[in-house]
Amino acid sequence: MAFNEIVKMHEDLDRALRKPVSKRSWVMVIDVRKCVGDRACVVACMAENVCPPGTSYRWVFETEFRGYPNLDKFYMPGNCQHCDNPPCMKAANKLKNGTIKKRPDGIVVFDYEKLKKSPDAREAAKKACPYYAIVDDNGGYYTDNTPILEPYETRTFYEDNERLTRKKTKGTIRKCTFCLHRLESGMIPACVSTCIGRAMYFGDKSDPKSLVSELIKKEDVWNPKAKLGTKPRVYYIGYKDRANIATSTSATCQVCHQ
């Protein structure tokens, strides 16, 4: 992703924000050819969302295939897939209504207050998610047992446009929010803006002129668990090209890294 693609994503975002929420359709596109496995996205997400110790809304799996001397290794970043048919929502809401909701723009949101009151709904949601995208907030801090809790752990932060502190999220389950608070302020998600391999894209799929729509139309898209019928909103591209990339020369890096 070149600099002009970041500008384009922000222009796409501006256009989307001028439409009613129900007309927006947020999706993420991840190009596995470009992920360099540095995990800057993971750190950015943890900082943005003040994640509890030992947890992250994001992961970057390392994948290897073929053997020596043709070993190929690549990285698969991921987060909550904001499924259009979310198993977490079905499982949790069966036990306590309204704990998990699907917004008209596609984002799956948790109601922390309702989830705090229902351990069964929390467990059911975690078990039902085929992507293992849900984490517990058990209330601990990285700086527990030190002279003071560091301000970066006790600061306020925003999720789903709600002002929070860790005190409010203690005792619930959490996950990626597609950085809704940033989107509605005209900024792309923290993980997308931080990616140094420029492997991640975000935008409005209902806008045919958006960069994400162009990529989804142009590329073969794939999702590791699409067969489960969850209808994920995270699209992986560049997956089929892995075999070619593995045997390519350094000059072909220009294909992806403009």
Query: Which residues bind to ligand SF4, rule: CB under 6 A?
Result: 44-45, 48-49, 57-58, 79-83, 86-88, 108, 129, 131, 133-134, 175-179, 189-191, 230
Smallest gap from Cβ 99 to ligand SF4, in A, equals 12
Is residue 43 within 8 A of residue 211, CB to CB? The reply is: no
Distance CA 109, CA 132 (A): 16
Smallest gap from Cβ 100 to ligand SF4, in A, equals 7
Distance CA 138, CA 125 (A): 16
Closer CB to ligand SF4, 131 or 235, in the complex: 131
Closer CB to ligand SF4, 53 or 246, in the complex: 53
* C-alpha angle 22-131-233 in degrees, rounded to nearest 5: 25
Smallest gap from Cβ 22 to ligand SF4, in A, equals 19
Q: Is 117 left (phi over 0), alpha (psi -120 to 50) or beta?
A: alpha
Closer CB to ligand SF4, 70 or 97, in the complex: 97
Smallest gap from Cβ 234 to ligand SF4, in A, equals 8
HSE of 52, CA atoms in CB hemisphere, 13 A: 17
Closer CB to ligand SF4, 72 or 84, in the complex: 84
